[in-house]
Structure 1
Amino acid sequence: MSSETARFIGDIPKYYDQGLGPVIFEDYAVDIAGRTAARRPADVLETAAGTGIVTRRLRDALGPQSRLTATDLNEPMLDVAKAKFDAKEQVTFRAADATALPFADGAFDAIVNQFGLMFFPDKDRAHREARRALRPGGRYLFSVWDDARYNPFARLGLEVVDRFFPQDPPKFLKAPFSCAEIDPIKESLIGAGFTDITVSIQARVKDVADPVAFARGLVLGSPLFEQIRERGGVSPETLVEALAGRLTQELGANPMRMPMQAILYEARAA
């Protein structure tokens, strides 16, 4: 992963989990976990597990006989995830790169990745690694964000960042929305050895009771925080206040109603 786009360090995991998790990740996590569990896999791998938002939902949805392994390249994210489980829940945590998985060929019945592909420097290799680690017939489920025009929190975030840093705006908020084109991903999956590929557009509207907490998660709960600090001249809290104001100006308040849209892929290992 590029250090410019994917260093989730320091207090970033905490703000990510508390500020962003309940708003933009949780509902999608419930969906992808349910789809995975419906096929009753015995061995499940989650890549780019982050703070365990999907991991928690997977463990709740999978049968007690299923074994779950959660990986992420950023160990501080996994530290937050581990706190959500007790020792009896059959979840193994391991720091690992999704483009170079430390697992044997055919080790898993299902591999799950929510909103992680966009940060992988070699997406084709990530798909090939997923295919290698899956048993024949195994399922690969992953989601990406659709274009920023369908996700106003991204569009408005970029607008506010550009206003404060007109000469050298931090670029992180562009990265999560860099995989909105469907055909290149489908072609990559076919090239990696997947078949029966289905694509679902998942649109939602989320009520946000605390826009400031969400804005704080967006600014302090992502590598955007490090990019702001490196540039200097503007405090992160100033950016939080401006972003919360812009969000409520366009999306309302009490509650703020925020549209969002993701793309879900499901594929079978040939």
Structure 2
Amino acid sequence: MAEAPRFFTGDIPRHYDTGLGPWIFADAAEDLARRAVALRPASVLEIAAGTGILSRRLRDTLPTPSRLVVTDLSPAMLEVAQGKFAPGEDVKIVQADAMALPFPDASFDLVICQFGVMFFPDKVAAFREAGRVLRPGGRLLFSSWAAMRDNAFAQAAEAVAEQAFPDDPPGFYKYPFSYDDPEQALSDLAQGGFAAEHSEQPLRREVTDPEGFARGLVYGNPIIGELADRGLDPEEVVARMRAELTARIGTPLVLDLRAHVFTARKLGAT
């Protein structure tokens, strides 16, 4: 997996989960969980699960007998995810690299991933690895962000990063939007051994806690480490972030989010 997720350490996962989760991930997770249930899988593997925002919805939505295994590369992210499940709930949480999954061939009916594929350094290899652990005819279901220009909150975050680091702005805010071409994804899926369909995932959400959202964009991202390294006050950056969000989006802060969803079937013997 790409290096970016390795920096989700310390308090970053908690801020990511509480500051960003309700506004840019929760509704997308509900939608993806519904799509997953419609496929009627008996066993599900989630890769690049982060703090378990989709994981919790999957367990709530999937039939009780369905097996759910949740993985991510970051132990700190998985610690937050683990806290969303009561002792005894039927979910297994495993630290794992999506590029080298520690599971036997043909172990799952569905592999699912929300906003994680863009972090894989070799998408085709990652899709082949997903195909390896899928049973014949199994499905791969994942979402990726559309272009940054279609997600105003991301444009605001990038603008603040450029203001804070005019000579050498960090690129993390651009990274999640780096896999925004559906045709490229469909081509990669085909090379990875899948027949796939693509659909748009437009979402609209009013942010009722703009301060918390602005704080999440700063404290819930690796940029917080850059601020510390360069001696910048994160609270000043939070104030800039909130002002930029208001300037670009307005009040109330209503986010028009756009993402892509891919539903792919493993090719080969069925």
Q: What interval of TM-score do these two structures reach, taking the shorter chain for normalisation? A: over 0.9
Mapped partners of 2:25, 2:210: distance in 1: 16
Residues 203-249 of structure 1, C-alpha deviation per residue, up to 9 Å, x if partnerless?
1221011111101111111112122222x132111111101011112
Distance of 1:246 and 1:213 partners within structure 2:
14
Preserved contact between residue 25 and residue 53 of structure 2 (Cα < 8 Å): yes
> Which secondary structure state, in structure 2, belongs to the residue aligned with residue 88 of structure 1?
coil
1:216 paired residue number? 215
For residues 121-151 of structure 1, the C-alpha deviation after alignment (integer angstroms, 9 at most, x for no partner) is 1211111101111011111000000000000
Q: Does the CA contact (< 8 Å) of 1:251 and 1:257 recur in 2?
A: yes
In the alignment, structure 1 residue 164 sits paired with structure 2 residue 161? no
Alignment of 1:94-243 (within 5 A): 94-195=94-195, 197-230=196-229, 232-243=230-241
Question: Which moved further from structure 2: 133-142 or 243-252?
Answer: 243-252
Equivalent runs, 1:4-19 vs 2, <5 Å: 4=4, 6-19=6-19
Instruction: Give me the whole-angstrom Cα distance separating, in 2, the residues matched to 1:201 and 1:224.
Output: 29
Say which SS state the counterpart of residue 88 (structure 2) adopts: helix
* Mapped partners of 1:153, 1:45: distance in 2: 30
Secondary structure class of the residue paired with 1:23: helix
Asked if 2 retains the 8 angstrom alpha-carbon contact of 1:151 and 1:259, the reply is yes
Q: Over residues 183-220 of structure 1, what are the superposed CA-to-partner deviations in whole Å (9 max), with x where a residue is unaligned? A: 1211111111111x111111122101111110111111
Number of aligned residue pairs: give it. Answer: 267
TM-score normalised by length of structure 2: 0.96
Q: Bigger CA drift: 183-192 or 106-115?
A: 183-192
- 2:259 aligned residue: 262
Aligned residue identity for 1:250:
R
Please tell me whether the aligned partners of residues 105 and 133 of structure 1 are also in contact (alpha carbons under 8 angstroms). yes
3-state DSSP class of the match of 1:247? helix
Give me the CA root mean square deviation.
1.1
The structure-2 alpha-carbon separation of the partners of 1:5 and 1:173, relative to structure 1 and needing over 3 Å to count, comes to farther
CA contact (8 A) 1:59 1:68 kept: yes
Aligned-pair identity in percent equals 48
How far is 1:34 from its partner? 0.9
Letter in structure 2 aligned against 1:110: L
**Alignment CA distance shift 1:265-1:4 (3 Å):** closer
Shift of 1:77: 0.5
Identify the range of structure 1 (181-190 vs 63-72) with the bigger mean alpha-carbon deviation.
181-190
| Superposed displacement of residue 12, structure 1 | 0.3
Query: Structure 1 residue 34 and structure 2 residue 34: aligned?
Result: yes
Structure 2: how far apart are the matches of 1:69 and 1:15? 24
Specify the code of the residue in structure 2 equivalent to 1:257: V
TM-score, normalized by length of structure 1?
0.96
- Structure 1 unmatched runs, 5+: none
2:248 aligned partner: 250
Cα distance in 1 for partners of 2:62, 2:226 equals 38
In the TM superposition, what is the alpha-carbon distance from 1:4 to its structure 2 partner?
A: 4.8
Q: Does structure 2 conserve the Cα–Cα contact (< 8 Å) formed by 1:124 and 1:192?
A: yes
**CA deviation after TM superposition for structure 1 residue 40, in Å:** 1.8
